[in-house]
Amino acid sequence: MPKTSRVSTAISEISSKPPSPAFGAELRRWRTLRRVSQLELANRAGTTQRHLSFMEQGRSHPGRAIVLRLAESLRLTLRERNALLFTAGYTPAYEETSYEAPAFAPVREAMERVIEGHLPYPALLLRRPGRVVAGNRAFSVFLEGCSPELLTPPIDLLRVMLHPDGVAPRVANLAQWGRHVIDNLRLLAAQSPDRGLDALVEELAGYVPEAPADQTYLGFAVPMRLRVPEGELRLMTALTSFATAVDVTVAESVLESFLPADAESAEILAARDRLAAERGEARLLTGL
């Protein structure tokens, strides 16, 4: 964009509202966290460095459009974009629809069909970072032997997996696999700082033993090695998110599936699902 056009855009976006120190401080915090210079962020958002500097200093009140462009340029989540709008004095741009809302039914049903379609392999619908919304019947392999306290809704998958009263005692490679889970959670916490998430990371990290310093890896992923009565399941995790979401609930929803890493694991899961079907168990587990 030519410099004159950026200046015109910046001037047109300065509203008659008083400056917003809270917005300026929050914008600077996010820019620092993302390690982006004023010039780079201004170029991404289609404004000028001077205008951006004025906003950060609280000398200029931003228009709603530039707040959204800045939030998008900083790769903020939809929830974080709404919060940034609020500090500038604007209403949220993205709705947060309840899973139980009638209007959300088509989306919820579509998500549930996807996890059902993963049978005989475990799959579930999560609300980030780990709240279980629904799972297919194969997901019950993880719930066997877990403490009832961990299975009281809403179930937190991360806590169920890593807690000593949960799945952890049955994971043969807890140190290696668990540390990958913790590292991914730390990355999420670094991208979207939250005290509650930080506390969860520290809690879960205390459940996982240190991985050997000289560990080596074979293959292309670290599978979870889960002990079951039939033997050992070797499972790889796959995550699916919704990149074009414009609703907070959809944006924070994740489909997680556990795929067999070998033929033996695939056969054990298939046999378990055939037995569940013979017993008439529902394909979908809800109310989790």
pLDDT one-digit tens code per residue, 49-73 = 999 999 999 999 999 999 999 999 9
pLDDT digits (tens, 9 = 90+) for 151-189: 999 999 999 999 999 999 999 999 999 998 999 999 988
pLDDT at site 193: 84
Identify the bridge partners of residue 136 per DSSP, sorted by sequence position: 284
pLDDT at site 18: 59
Residue of 133, 139, 145 lying closest to 258 (CA atoms) = 139
pLDDT digits (tens, 9 = 90+) for 26-45: 999 999 999 999 999 999 99
Residue 172: enclosing H or E segment and its boundaries? none
Percent of the chain surpassing pLDDT 70: 90
Q: What confidence category does residue 20 fall into, taking pLDDT thresholds of 50, 70 and 90?
A: low
Q: How much is the pTM?
A: 0.84
Q: Examine residue 212 and say whether the peptide bond preceding it is cis (omega within 30 degrees of 0).
A: no
**Which runs of consecutive H residues, i.e. helices, occur in the chain?**
3-13, 21-34, 38-45, 49-57, 64-73, 78-87, 105-116, 157-162, 174-191, 195-205, 248-251, 263-278
Q: What confidence category does residue 243 fall into, taking pLDDT thresholds of 50, 70 and 90?
A: confident
**What is the number of alpha carbons within 13 Å of residue 47 lying toward its C-beta?**
25
pLDDT at site 214: 55
pLDDT for residue 9 is more than 80: no
Ordered by where they begin, the domains of the chain are: 3-87 (1.10.260.40), 102-285 (3.30.450)
The residues near 159 (Cβ < 8 Å, ≥ 6 apart) are 130, 150, 166, 200, 203, 204
Residue 224 phi, psi (nearest 5): -85, 125
pLDDT for residue 109 is more than 70: yes
pLDDT digits (tens, 9 = 90+) for 252-288: 999 999 999 999 999 999 999 999 999 999 999 987 8
Per-residue burial over 76-88, b if 16 or more Cβ lie within 10 Å, else e, is: bbbbbbbebbebb
Distances (CA, A) of 39 to 1, 28, 53, 274: 14, 13, 9, 60
* Percent helix / strand / coil, the chain, rounded to 5: 50, 15, 35
pLDDT for residue 121 is more than 80: yes
Q: What is the mean pLDDT of the chain?
A: 90
Contact 28, 56 (CB under 8 A): yes
Q: What confidence category does residue 21 fall into, taking pLDDT thresholds of 50, 70 and 90?
A: confident
